Structure 1
Amino acid sequence: MTVAPDYQQVVVAERVELAQGVVGLTLHAVDSAPLAPWTPGAHIDIRLPSGLIRQYSLCGDPQDRQAYRIAVLRAPDSRGGSVEVHERCAVGDELAVSVPRNHFPLEAARRHLFIAGGIGITPLLPMVRQLAAAGGDWELLYGGRSRSSMAFLDKLDGPVDVVPEDEFGLLPLDAFLEKAGSGDLVYCCGPEALLAAVEARCAHLLEPGALRVERFSGAGAGARQDDPTANEAFEVVLNRRGVVVEIPPARSVLEVLREIDPELPFSCEEGYCGTCETAVLAGTPDHRDTLLTPEERADGSSMMICVSRALTPRLTLDL
């Protein structure tokens, strides 16, 4: 996985209102060069005019190397990125975007069951399109506050159950998940309350490892980071610099290392976006993110330095 992505200059070629509170942007390379390839489930980091870096799922056609398409929900109570997109990003504006990264890939399965809540439809849309084109077996359960707030309703076809809350109430998760059988995979993206409800049900209804989720928030990632009594100091070796630094109980690795290198990439600071992912050359990380899979955590070859710490007295990082 790329930990310090290269950025490419793009221009906002189109801006459309996709639903109430949801704006869609189409991005083209400034020099008209082909954009980096991507697969369903991928996202890009976007450096906004203010300097903020935020992540948005790609929801267009992976075969179209001339355009990236994203959809952004205006969330006034968030960390400011969505409001900036809605208020400051206009056609003709230039932005910088990273190479796409995919922590939420579409994997082979007997059948795929998709659950989308609100703007969580964005990473799932390319997945269902790909499966539909390939004749795959899939179903989508899509919920939102109201039809007017649900993007891409006109782009969905096939086995899709649309459940606006103001018409039908909450999503019928139990009935939908009871359809899952051996060899099936469930993909879910949406607000944290939905993800928590799906995770709780899947723990009893699905085979281990059959659920895939994509988060837009940290869901308590790194909670122990804010409690120094739960942390111990450790050392970090910056392999390329030949420097050793101490990480005290009350500070994150990212916070300390940015004093040495202010250009270190980061965004969410909650362990869910992947921007600060850093290769680990020696030592054992104490993973506190919500992004890495159990297999990736066991491998220990990378960590999110915004929240994760160390299980060994020293970590050597590829920095």
Structure 2
Amino acid sequence: MTSYDGIELVVERRESAAVDVLVLTLRHPSGAELPAWEPGAHIDLVLGPGLERQYSLCGDPADRDRWRIAVLRERDGRGGSAHVHERVRPGDEVRARGPRNHFRLEPAGGYRFVAGGIGITPILPMLAAAEAAGADWTLLYGGRTRASMAFTGELARYGERVTLAPEDETGLPALAPVLAGLPEDTLVYCCGPGPLLDAVEERCPAGVLRVERFRPTTQHSVTDREFEVVLARSGRTLTVPPDVSVLDTVRGAGVEVLYSCAEGTCGTCETDVLEGEPDHRDSVLTEEERAAGETMLICVSRCRGRRLVLDL
């Protein structure tokens, strides 16, 4: 589904999954099937003017009648989670865009999953998929307290494959035993706070780690100089000033494009690059995708040269 407007959904259920974690079950008002998705996918919820947030789908991909998301109430957030916790009730309609997936579960002989806090949400359907595939997998799941860790009841069915690490009981998650001596054909999937992702990244061999970040990483750039963007579909050429993003430049010229976070973390504005070398500053694309230079996130990334040709 790539509609600019998205689709209207109805909140079917609202329930608590842990301290400050609210689970919403969404369905189509008419009972129609929802778009298909795979583990790792997220949707954008349009909560109001200027209030759009991304949430991972954490239900069963085989259930085309319902989507499930979990929302952590962030005390120092920007208002999205507070809006959901305080105002969204069963029977309410919400608008959603997606699903989109930059965190796909790739085929592998084995997996080591590491989750921190609300980072369990995209991992949850991955576990079911890995189990169904007969893969060798384990999960290390950390949180501040046991009461703050969502879906622990659902995880209990996996037995010893899952290790819970509440910080107030065990300290920080012990990464070394999980990541040392990884078997061949094993991938590591990690989602959670930035420090956890950084620590896992430090311990993983090249090429085996897949991450999803909630906050942007600091990207080192060549320079914030002026450059040109050619919109291939219309033939228009726009000048991108040093202090303006490609996204804002394009939208300022009246071109409609999908976008959401404007921080380089959600992937909504990913655009095909036809010519030129992007200066990637996002937290979504893999190193391989950046090296290929075939797409870029126009909300934060720029140009290493003087000209880009985009499929817009």
What is the TM-score with the length of structure 2 in the denominator? Answer: 0.94
Are the equivalent residues in 2 in contact too, given 1:42–1:57 (CA < 8 A)? yes
Q: Which ranges of structure 2 fall in alignment gaps of 5 or more residues?
A: none
> Which structure 2 residues correspond to residues 265-280 of structure 1 after superposition, within 5 A?
265-280=258-273
Counterpart position of 2:198: 196
Counterpart position of 1:250: 243
- 1:127 equivalent to 2:126? Answer yes
* Alpha-carbon distance between aligned partners in 2 of 1:86 and 1:49, rounded to the nearest angstrom: 14
Instruction: Summarize deviations over 1:158-214 as a string: whole Å, max 9, x none.
Output: 210001001111000112211522211111000001001111122xxx2x2001111
**Offset at residue 239 of structure 1 (A):** 2.4
> Which structure 2 residues correspond to residues 43-122 of structure 1 after superposition, within 5 A?
43-122=42-121
* Alpha-carbon distance between aligned partners in 2 of 1:179 and 1:28, rounded to the nearest angstrom: 44
* Alpha-carbon distance between aligned partners in 1 of 2:311 and 2:172, rounded to the nearest angstrom: 46
- 1:314 equivalent to 2:301? Answer no
Are the equivalent residues in 1 in contact too, given 2:270–2:297 (CA < 8 A)? yes
* Alpha-carbon distance between aligned partners in 2 of 1:242 and 1:94, rounded to the nearest angstrom: 40
* Alpha-carbon distance between aligned partners in 2 of 1:230 and 1:283, rounded to the nearest angstrom: 16
Q: 1:305 aligns with which of 295, 298, 309?
A: 298
Counterpart position of 1:37: 36
Amino acid at match of 2:54: Q
* Alpha-carbon distance between aligned partners in 1 of 2:281 and 2:48, rounded to the nearest angstrom: 30
**Cα RMSD after superposing both structures:** 1.8
Per the alignment, in what secondary structure is the counterpart of residue 127 of structure 1? helix
* Residues 200/3 of structure 1: CA separation in 2 closer, same or farther (3 Å cut): farther
* Alpha-carbon distance between aligned partners in 2 of 1:291 and 1:9, rounded to the nearest angstrom: 27
- 1:183 equivalent to 2:185? Answer yes
**Offset at residue 85 of structure 1 (A):** 1.3
Q: 1:234 aligns with which of 227, 230, 233?
A: 227
Matched positions, count: 309
**Offset at residue 3 of structure 1 (A):** 7.3
Amino acid at match of 1:189: C
Per the alignment, in what secondary structure is the counterpart of residue 100 of structure 1? strand
Are the equivalent residues in 2 in contact too, given 1:61–1:126 (CA < 8 A)? yes
Per the alignment, in what secondary structure is the counterpart of residue 48 of structure 2? coil
Are the equivalent residues in 2 in contact too, given 1:236–1:245 (CA < 8 A)? yes
Are the equivalent residues in 1 in contact too, given 2:112–2:137 (CA < 8 A)? yes
Counterpart position of 1:138: 137
Per the alignment, in what secondary structure is the counterpart of residue 211 of structure 2? strand
**Offset at residue 118 of structure 1 (A):** 0.4
**Offset at residue 317 of structure 1 (A):** 1.7
Q: 2:209 aligns with which of 205, 208, 211?
A: 211
Are the equivalent residues in 2 in contact too, given 1:219–1:290 (CA < 8 A)? yes
Per the alignment, in what secondary structure is the counterpart of residue 76 of structure 2? coil
Q: Which ranges of structure 1 fall in alignment gaps of 5 or more residues?
A: none
Are the equivalent residues in 1 in contact too, given 2:246–2:302 (CA < 8 A)? yes
* Alpha-carbon distance between aligned partners in 2 of 1:79 and 1:310, rounded to the nearest angstrom: 29
**Offset at residue 4 of structure 1 (A):** 6.5
**Offset at residue 262 of structure 1 (A):** 7.2
Instruction: Summarize deviations over 1:70-112 as a string: whole Å, max 9, x none.
Output: 0010112222211111122111111111221111111122210
Q: 2:282 aligns with which of 273, 286, 289?
A: 289
**Offset at residue 31 of structure 1 (A):** 2.4
**Offset at residue 277 of structure 1 (A):** 1.2
**Offset at residue 249 of structure 1 (A):** 1.2
**Offset at residue 154 of structure 1 (A):** 0.2
Are the equivalent residues in 2 in contact too, given 1:3–1:276 (CA < 8 A)? no
Are the equivalent residues in 1 in contact too, given 2:217–2:282 (CA < 8 A)? no
Instruction: Summarize deviations over 1:52-87 as a string: whole Å, max 9, x none.
Output: 221111000000000010001011222221111112
Amino acid at match of 2:59: G
Deviates more, 1:3-12 or 1:158-167: 3-12
Q: Report sequence identity in percent.
A: 54
What is the TM-score with the length of structure 1 in the denominator? Answer: 0.92
Per the alignment, in what secondary structure is the counterpart of residue 281 of structure 1? strand
* Alpha-carbon distance between aligned partners in 2 of 1:35 and 1:57, rounded to the nearest angstrom: 15
Per the alignment, in what secondary structure is the counterpart of residue 283 of structure 2? coil
Counterpart position of 2:24: 25
Counterpart position of 2:8: 9
Amino acid at match of 1:172: A
**Offset at residue 5 of structure 1 (A):** 5.7
* Alpha-carbon distance between aligned partners in 1 of 2:78 and 2:187, rounded to the nearest angstrom: 32
